[in-house]
Chain A
Amino acid sequence: EAQVTQNPRYLITVTGKKLTVTCSQNMNHEYMSWYRQDPGLGLRQIYYSMNVEVTDKGDVPEGYKVSRKEKRNFPLILESPSPNQTSLYFCASSSTIAGVKNEQYFGPGTRLTVT
């Protein structure tokens, strides 16, 4: 089954304690991206990756890091989480062959609470 998986699905942590949210896709997609969803603000793009070892900032990258060492994985790293990073996070992937932007497949979401 084609899917994007995220772990953990729920996480409560404390300020300053480094954490990683994993994302994996099994569709051999070149493009992967992270979003955060906050009430009244919709979905905002944090980082994206066009392919292995190629990443770039989205609109709200502050406080986050990513890496793309393998095509299937795109972890989101919060080195020193703060309460304003409490949010619902989605990972997504899509195929972008020849520049055509196909639909993004989204993971189930990770609800993060930073106290």
Chain B
Amino acid sequence: AQKVTQAQTEISVVEKEDVTLDCVYETRDTTYYLFWYKQPPSGELVFLIRRNSFDEQNEISGRYSWNFQKSTSSFNFTITASQVVDSAVYFCALSVIGTYKYIFGTGTRLKVLA
């Protein structure tokens, strides 16, 4: 069975601080996709990134960066110089290739204080 753990339930930071959201996944399968989604206070779910298990290259997009490490089964998300607009719940998700199920973590609520 697959599992996604986001151990940080809630994180509060002051604006301009860097923050890392942890995501640890479990699967016996060697081919899978990992995702991050953002849910701002308005409630919609917004796609941030997709990574497949063949590609361990880290990714940077503006202030956002992702660190994928198969050795530790982690796919962590870092926001550099956080802003109030980054306040949201962030979800990590796993989907094994060849299946159609998606397993989401319980989410991390990030509060960025001005």
On A, residues with C-beta under 8 Å from B are 31, 33, 35, 40-45, 48, 50, 56, 58-59, 88, 90, 92, 96, 99, 101-106, 108-109
Q: Are A50 and B100 in contact (CB under 8 A)?
A: yes
A42 with B50: in contact, given A101-B33, A108-B44 (CB under 8 Å)? no
- Is the pair A103, B50 in contact by a Cβ cutoff of 8 Å? yes
Using a CB–CB distance below 8 Å, which chain B residues touch chain A? 6, 9, 33, 35, 37, 43-45, 47, 50, 91, 93, 95, 97-98, 100-107
With contacts defined as CB atoms under 8 Å apart, how many contacts are there between chain A and chain B in the complex?
A: 55
CB distance from A25 to the nearest CB of B (A): 14
Whether A45 contacts B102 in the complex (CB less than 8 A), given A101-B33, A109-B43, comes out as: yes
Report the Cα distance A11→B85, complex, angstroms.
Answer: 30
Please, which residues of chain B bring their CB within 8 A of the CB of A105? 47
Q: A104 touching B100 by the CB < 8 A rule?
A: no
| Bound form: Cα–Cα A99–B100 in Å | 10
CB distance from B97 to the nearest CB of A (A): 6
Are B101 and A59 in contact, with the CB atoms below 8 A? yes
Query: Across the interface, which residues of B come within 8 angstroms of A43, CB to CB?
Result: 91, 93, 104, 107
- Other than the known A41-B106, A104-B45, what 20 A-B pairs have Cβ atoms closer than 8 Å? A40-B9, A42-B105, A43-B91, A45-B102, A48-B100, A48-B101, A56-B100, A59-B101, A90-B45, A92-B45, A101-B95, A101-B97, A103-B35, A104-B35, A104-B47, A104-B102, A106-B44, A106-B45, A108-B44, A109-B43
